[in-house]
Amino acid sequence: MALAAEVRAFLIESCSVTGGHIGAGLGVVELSIALHHVFETPQDQVVWDVGHQGYPHKVLTGRADRMDTLRQEDGLSGFLKRAESDYDAFGAGHAATSISAAYGMAVGRDMRGEDFKVVAIIGDGSLGSGLAYEGLNNAGASDSDFIVVLNDNEMSIAPNVGAMHKYLTSVQRNPIYNRVRSAIGDIADNAPGMLHDAGKLLRRWEESVKSFLTPGVLFEELGFRYFGPIDGHDLKQLNETFKAVREMKGPRLIHVITQKGKGFPAGEHVEKWHALPPGHDPTTGKQLKAATGNANYTTVFGKGLVELMAENDRIAVITAAMPSGTGTGGAAKQFPSRFFDVGIAEGHAVTMAAGMATRGVRPVVAIYSTFLQRGYDSIVHDVAIQHLPVTFCMDRAGLVGEDGETHAGLYDIAYMLAIPSMTVTAPRSGTELLGLLRSAMAHEAGPFAIRYPRDNSPDVVSAIAEIPAVPYGTWEVVRSGTEFAILAVGTMVNQSLAAADLLAAEGMNVTVVNCRYLKPYDALTLDAILATHRHVLVVEEGTVVNGFGAYMASVISSREPGVRVTAHGVPDRIVYAAPRARQLALCGLDAAGIADKVRSLHGSEAVAG
């Protein structure tokens, strides 16, 4: 227990400086110790889910002295990463991958005749995800030597939702069952003579009927031997159970009850302590330096959405386990009957929205760009092919800073542009975000996607009542120049304007266009640009492969083949954690980088010409 206390104190202190996902890790300190104690890691493969609860695991596997670099450039990842340690059996960041990945390892082990144990850990929130069921369903039908640990803390980021959650909590926390259980325990442990023997008998009986009284029956039906629920903060019980279960064969599941945020001095975990910023008070969780600047896009969106929902009672909101992260908590409070948290189930969220849209509802699906990747087939098959008016609000589009490569929203432009009936947009400001949201609500003909970054809005945003829709399919020329035009997307508009200022000081007069509609594009404005410019640079905060630049290159080559087009976006490589501004600079997507790009193209043109 001394080790557990030491790890907790260390994490609370080090995270108060670096920031990070402190809540989940504090809940699994004993669990991490027991896993490493009983299993022969790293030979036995221990596969954590999501990875945000991996901090104690990092500390216990030789990385304590690097915890001060957590989530920083060239530092320790905030999640798990195979390249970081032999003990990180599988990379993580998105939820509900552990069972499938670990089962794959067990299958690989057996194919190659190797001998080691495989353990997947999954949270109760992630167990609500379809991927987790797919893994259980597949693994449970096998006779593989395979262990799942269910880390049940009743929390996703927000309090967990859904029928599975109700199922897990209803029986095991049933007061009658628990009273009977502890009475049996008392008799077995403390009663003298015959009563003691009777208590032992009762305990055996209790074991045999337990599966009817605990959530075990569901897992047993899925092909897993069920053990638990056990106290995830009782090291002795954890060690004993793991030791016994380790030696068995076949699929088995250990249900562990933990408390998220355990030991955090500010008291029991609440949603806001899921992740904390760098430089917070370790006793209260409060940020020491107050945040400055305008409201961020998430807040602007959340507020505007509530106002729009007040105007139009057909609007409903769907989030996949991220009410606060997506800014939809206000909608949940004000319009609970039109707010749906479906759990970590992005594909379901999208198809459910499609169903709602067939009944005249106007669903707004608020999911981070990176997590919406999970819903891609639903977007194509259920929404787009049927031209259903579902609005996708994709927060965290682009580079996301310290959350790093697993959470970067770099692919949504490419994946949304590829879909025929999809309107694809990106605002340059908070005001334009709300204008586009209004446009989306007016667009009945098919789906509408809006992408916005993890950043503050560059402007102060008024009430949505004062913000008009952004005329459908239009661009805005924000600076007029000659010869060289920058077609800029979203966040890149202001960076391009700043680049244009730098270039103007050198005597180059560059046009900058705000391409807020990526699809449909503004053909009138584009033709005007092509008639008066010789070179177009397309700048976007998304992968350069198959992005807006690639799209414009194909459009322009057929409209005006004499104009040179260059795509400038996030290069075709993984961009690792660093502050967002630094990531932008590394990708050449800040003002200096864009100006450099223009200079180099201009120079090469002069030479070529």
Ligand X SMILES: Cc1ncc(C[n+]2csc(CCOP(=O)(O)OP(=O)(O)O)c2C)c(N)n1
396 binds ligand X (CB under 6 A): no
Kindly state the DSSP code that residue 141 receives in the 8-state scheme.
Answer: T
Residue 71 lies near ligand X (rule: CB under 6 A): no
- Among 118-126, 301-309, 381-389, 521-529, which window interacts with ligand X (CB under 6 A)? 118-126
If the CB atoms of residues 342 and 510 are measured against ligand X, the closer one turns out to be 342
Q: Give yes or no for residue 326 binding ligand X (CB under 6 A).
A: no
Quick check: 50 binds ligand X (CB under 6 A)? yes
**Enzyme catalytic residues:** 260, 346, 374
Q: Which is nearer to ligand X, 95 or 461 (CB)?
A: 95
Dist. CA 79–CA 223, nearest whole Å? 30
Of residues 36, 58, 71, 94, which one binds ligand X by CB under 6 A?
Answer: 94
Does 156 help bind ligand X (rule: CB under 6 A)? yes
Among 149-157, 279-287, 308-316, 349-357, the segment contacting ligand X (CB under 6 A): 149-157
Tell me how far, at minimum, the Cβ of 274 lies from ligand X, in Å: 7
Exposed / middle / buried, residue 353 (Cβ in 10 Å: 0-12, 13-18, 19+): buried
CB of 181 to ligand X, least distance (A): 25
Buried b (16+ CB within 10 A) or exposed e, 57-91: bbbbbebbeebeebbbeebbbbbbbeebbebbbbb
Closest CA to 99 of 52, 146, 142, 66: 146
Q: With CA atoms as reference, report the closest residue to 358 among 318, 405, 390, 328.
A: 390
Q: How open is the CA angle 512-514-516, to the nearest 5 degrees?
A: 165
Q: Whole-angstrom Cα distance, residue 538 to residue 549? A: 5
Nearer to ligand X by Cβ, of 375 and 549: the residue is 375
**Separation of alpha carbons 9 and 20, rounded Å:** 15
**Closer CB to ligand X, residue 369 or residue 494?**
369
| The binder of ligand X chosen from 245, 321, 357, 388 (CB under 6 A) | 321
Cβ at position 3, least distance to ligand X in Å:
20
**What is the footprint of ligand X within residues 521-580 (CB under 6 A)?**
none
Q: φ, ψ for residue 132 (rounded to 5)?
A: -65, -40
**What gap in Å lies between CA 8 and CA 28, rounded to an integer?**
10
Q: x/- binding map, residues 477-506, to ligand X, per CB under 6 A?
A: ------------------------------
Q: Does 102 bind ligand X (CB under 6 A)?
A: no
- From 117-125, 239-247, 294-302, 413-421, give the range in contact with ligand X by CB under 6 A: 117-125
Taking CB under 6 A as the criterion, the residue among 30, 84, 88, 124 binding ligand X is 124
Contact code string over 236-275 relative to ligand X, x by CB under 6 A: ------------------------x---------------
Instruction: Identify the residue among 16, 32, 45, 53 touching ligand X (CB under 6 A).
Output: 53
Taking the complex as a whole, how short is the minimal distance between the CB of residue 362 and ligand X, in angstroms? 24
Cα–Cα distance, 321 to 155 (Å, whole number): 10
52 or 533: CB nearest ligand X: 52
**Which one of residues 36, 52, 58, 348 is an interface residue with ligand X (CB under 6 A)?**
52
If phi > 0 it is left, if psi is from -120 to 50 it is alpha, else beta; for residue 62 that is: left
Q: What is the 3-state secondary structure (H, E, C) of 508-544?
A: CCEEEEECCEEECCCHHHHHHHHHHEEEEEEEEEEEC
The amino acid sitting at 291 is A
Stretch in the footprint of ligand X (CB under 6 A) among 291-299, 319-327, 452-460, 552-560: 319-327
Q: How far is the CB of 155 from ligand X (least distance, A)?
A: 5
Q: How far is the CB of 429 from ligand X (least distance, A)?
A: 27
Query: Residue with CB nearest ligand X?
Result: 123
Beta bridge partner(s), residue 118: 45
- Residue among 16 and 129 whose Cβ is closer to ligand X: 129
- Of 10-18, 187-195, 317-325, 532-540, the segment contacting ligand X by CB under 6 A is 317-325
Size, binding site for ligand X by CB under 6 A: 22
At closest approach, how far in Å is the CB of 127 from ligand X? 7
Residue placing its CB nearer to ligand X in the complex, 123 or 140: 123
What are the angstrom distances between the C-alpha of 234 and each of 5, 481, 583?
13, 69, 43
Of residues 18-37, which lie at the interface with ligand X (CB under 6 A)?
24
For residue 253, the minimal CB distance to ligand X (Å) is 15
Q: Which residues contact 238 (CB under 8 A, 6 or more apart)?
A: 30, 31, 34, 230, 231, 232, 256
CA pair distance 146, 119, nearest whole angstrom: 6
Helix H, strand E, coil C: the string for 25-84 is HHHCHHHHHHHHHHCCCCCCEEECCCCCCCHHHHHHHHHHHHHHHCCCCCCCCCCCCCCC
Residue 382 backbone phi and psi in degrees, to 5:
-95, -30
Q: How far is the CB of 271 from ligand X (least distance, A)?
A: 10
Cα distance between residue 69 and residue 15, in whole Å: 10
Shortest distance (Å) from residue 322 CB to ligand X? 6
CB of 371 to ligand X, least distance (A): 4
CA 341 to chain centre: 15
Q: Which stretch binds ligand X (CB under 6 A): 318-326, 477-485, 496-504, 555-563?
A: 318-326
| Residue whose CB is less far from ligand X, 162 or 542 | 162
Examine residue 11 and tell whether it contacts ligand X (CB under 6 A): no
344 interacts with ligand X by CB under 6 A: yes
DSSP string, 401-415: GGG-TTT-B-SHHHH
Q: How far is 286 from 280, CA to CA, in rounded Å?
A: 5
Identity of the residue, 58 or 602, whose beta carbon is nearer to ligand X in the bound complex: 58
- Return the number of other C-beta atoms located less than 10 Å from residue 145's C-beta: 18
Please state whether the peptide bond connecting residue 42 to the residue before it is cis, i.e. omega within 30 degrees of 0.
Answer: yes
580 beta partners? none
From the CB of 116, what's the least distance to ligand X, in Å? 25
Our finding on whether 58 is near ligand X (CB under 6 A) is no
322 or 536, CB closer to ligand X? 322
Nearer to ligand X among residue 181 and residue 396 (C-beta): 396
Closer residue to ligand X in complex, CB, 122/500: 122
- Residue ranges in contact with ligand X by CB under 6 A: 24, 50, 52-53, 94-95, 123-126, 151, 153, 155-157, 260, 320-322, 344, 371, 374
